[in-house]
């Protein structure tokens, strides 16, 4: 998986295309496959890196807990020194990877305070809300992400995931 991620990142940095052809994307939370048409490579690379971080070595408490804490502490220091929307989105991803969904949402809210048009922050909030079972909030967050960026396929997929969860719990 890591090798695949590195290939995507290399393709992006080399300028060899910005989208991938039609693909079935697997939602990591419930393994549901969703067919999408063209997916921006940057979104695929980000999803791969998130999966590698969530599944890869060093993600169990015995081996990587201290490293992950240090990673969050470093990101918190950076956000305190340079409080940008991107810094808080980075923190939201770190918290999401650690299943600290409420902290993820709080970082997204801070990102949105600094940049109300940050579609990634709304998307991350959506994913955290779905995982926490707060489906209506998830749908609202992803709907807002798509209002900001109608071509944001990851947000479109997360909205579909949230909608399917809403139907499932009816």
**What is residue 46's predicted lDDT score, i.e. its pLDDT?**
53
Each domain of the chain, given as residue ranges in start order, spans: 1-56
Q: List alpha helices for 56-83, DSSP H.
A: 61-81
Q: Which of 106, 107, 97 is nearest to 131 (CA)?
A: 97
**Cβ(110)–Cβ(75) below 8 Å:** no
pLDDT score, position 113 = 97
- Rounded to two decimals, the pTM is 0.63
Q: What are the pLDDT tens digits along the chain (170 aa)?
A: 344 444 444 444 444 444 443 333 334 444 444 444 444 544 555 555 454 444 444 444 444 567 778 999 999 999 999 999 999 999 999 999 999 999 999 999 999 999 999 999 999 999 999 999 999 999 999 999 999 999 999 999 999 999 999 888 77
Q: What is the dihedral of CA 128, 168, 23, 132, to 10 degrees?
A: 10
Would you say 75 and 89 are in contact if contact means Cβ atoms under 8 Å apart? no
Rg (CA), the chain: 16
């Amino acid at each position: 998986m890591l090798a695949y991620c590195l290939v995507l990142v290399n393709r992006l940095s080399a300028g060899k295309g910005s989208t991938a052809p039609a693909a079935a994307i697997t939602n990591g939370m419930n393994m549901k496959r969703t067919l999408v048409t063209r997916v921006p490579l940057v979104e695929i690379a980000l999803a791969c890196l998130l999966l590698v971080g969530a599944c890869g070595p060093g993600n169990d408490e015995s081996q990587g807990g201290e490293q992950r804490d240090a990673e969050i502490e470093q990101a918190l220091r950076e956000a305190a020194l340079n409080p940008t929307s991107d810094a808080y989105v980075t923190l939201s991803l770190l918290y999401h990877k650690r299943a600290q969904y409420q902290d993820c949402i709080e970082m997204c809210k801070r990102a949105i305070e600094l940049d109300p048009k940050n579609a990634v922050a709304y998307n991350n909030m959506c994913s955290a809300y779905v995982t926490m079972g707060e489906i209506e909030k998830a749908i609202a967050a992803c709907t807002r992400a798509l209002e900001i960026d109608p071509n944001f396929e990851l947000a479109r997929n997360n909205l579909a995931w949230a909608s399917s969860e809403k139907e499932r719990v009816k």
